[in-house]
Structure formats: structure tokens, C-alpha cells
Amino acid sequence: MPSHTEENYLKTIYKLAEAEPGQDVSTNRIAAALTTRAASVTDMLRRLAEKELLRYEKYRGVQLTPEGRRLALLTVRKHRLWEVFLVQQLGFNWDEVHEVAEELEHVQSPLLMQRLDEFLDFPTFDPHGDPIPAEDGAVRRPTHRLLADLEVGDRGTLAAVKDTSAPFPQYLDKVGLALGVQLKVLDKVSFDNSLELRVNRERTVLISAEVGRNLFVT
């Protein structure tokens, strides 16, 4: 059984590797992501390599083994299934669930997750629009595009959010954006790439390029 901390490391490494498939996952990036020091990371990497959960060539970054990848995906799966439960069943807001899921994801019980999955009717995306890995580790690559990449006249449905730290979802609420709304790009201001959007054919919203780079549409 991996410890909570080990699972958190594996998950973080998986996500960093995923985010930029080319680059190798470096000690400092992991340290930054987990707000700890490089020395602590090196330490943990040695232990995880010892347990064969990753390959660690010094100065060369790190790569999950199949088993390490399996554990990382399992943790992500649990995290996201719990998030769905919290939002759909317990009425949490989508910006309140992360912390709690961060704890629930460490509960060890395959049967529990199987039953929860069934109870939720086998969801494939979490409340933030992120895909829920299947039990066998398969991840449905969402067909999302960055909102910032759309051209004037393009339409789409808001499907996922990149930055899920609390302030951002709150900002979205405030400007009247939520997952599932229909969007059409009315204008793209050339000098700063900010976007003028029609929302649900009703309202108009202006967002910065920065925001556009944190939203996905289908």
C-alpha cells in the first residue's frame, strides 16, 4: 500500500508528464507542484524508484513504470469519481470539492470504487470537465479545443476548465460562465487577443486571452 504522500507524488508526476508529453519531469517542477523542496523530492524519487514505481536516472528526470502509472491513474480515477459524487449527489459547488476529494482519493477499497462508479452511472468526466480514467487505465482523450484557439464565428460548448484553483471558477460564476453553456465567438480583438463571446444566444461577455487559454470547448 502506498502512503498518501506517495500517491500524491505519483499523481503529480503523472499529470506533469501528461501536460507536456515531450519534456521530462524534473525534480524542480515536482517540487514546485507540491510546494516542497527539491531535496525532499529527490528523496522521495529514490524511494519510489526503490519500489519500482518509477525509473529514475539522476539528472535525467523520471518516468513512471507501468505499475506506477497504474497507481497514478487509479488515484486520479478515485479523485474524480468522488468529485462527481460530491457535486451531483451531495450538492457541493464544483469549486468546493477539490480539497475533500484530495483526501477521499486515498481510501483503499476497489469494491467501494466499483460500487460508487455504478451508483453514479459510470460518469466519464468530472465536474471540471476532466476525463475519469477507466478501471483498466484507459483515458478517453476529450475532444476539447482551447477556447483561445477558436476563430471569429466559431461555436462550441464550454466543456472543461484548466485552472481549477478556487478563484478561477468563482470568476467564471461571476461573469456568468458555467460548464455546458453555448458559446459563439463574436470578435477577437487583435491587439490583445481578448474575446467577445455570445453566451447561450442571450448575453455577451468579454474575456481576456489568459482566460481563453484556461477554458476548453467542444
SS3 per-residue string spanning 187-207: EECCCCCCEEEEECCCEEEEE
Among 21, 22, 39, 202, binds DNA (CB under 7 A): 39
Whole-number minimum distance, CB 68 to DNA, in Å? Answer: 14
Q: Is the dihedral of CA 203, 214, 81, 90 positive or negative?
A: negative
Residues paired with residue 63 on neighbouring β-strands, in sequence order: 55
Report the 10 Å Cβ neighbour count for 97: 24
From the list its own copies, Mn ion, DNA, none, pick the one residue 90 interacts with, judged by a Cβ distance below 5 to 8 Å according to partner type: its own copies
Please work out the total of residues on this chain that contact DNA, with binding judged by CB under 7 A: 26
Among 10, 16, 33, 45, binds DNA (CB under 7 A): 45
Tell me: does residue 88 bind its own copies (CB under 8 A).
no
Among 10, 13, 41, 183, binds DNA (CB under 7 A): 41
Please work out the total of residues on this chain that contact its own copies, with binding judged by CB under 8 A: 18
Name which of 182, 105, 109 is nearest 150 in CA terms. Answer: 182
Burial class (CB in 10 A: 0-12, 13-18, 19+), 57: exposed
The footprint of Mn ion (CB under 5 A) covers 8, 83, 102, 126, 128
Q: In degrees, to the nearest 5, what angle opens at C-alpha 90 toward C-alphas 84 and 94?
A: 50
**Do 12 and 26 form a contact (C-beta atoms < 8 A)?**
no
Among 15, 46, 155, 203, binds DNA (CB under 7 A): 46
From the list Mn ion, its own copies, DNA, none, pick the one residue 192 interacts with, judged by a Cβ distance below 5 to 8 Å according to partner type: none
Q: Give whichever of 96 and 163 is closer to its own copies, judged by the CB atom.
A: 96
**Do 175 and 194 form a contact (C-beta atoms < 8 A)?**
no
Element (H, E) at 119: helix 110-119
Tell me: does residue 123 bind its own copies (CB under 8 A).
no
Which residues contribute to the site for its own copies (CB under 8 A)? 86, 89-92, 96, 99-100, 103-104, 107-109, 111-112, 115-116, 119
Which residues contribute to the site for DNA (CB under 7 A)? 3-6, 26-29, 34, 36-47, 56, 58-61
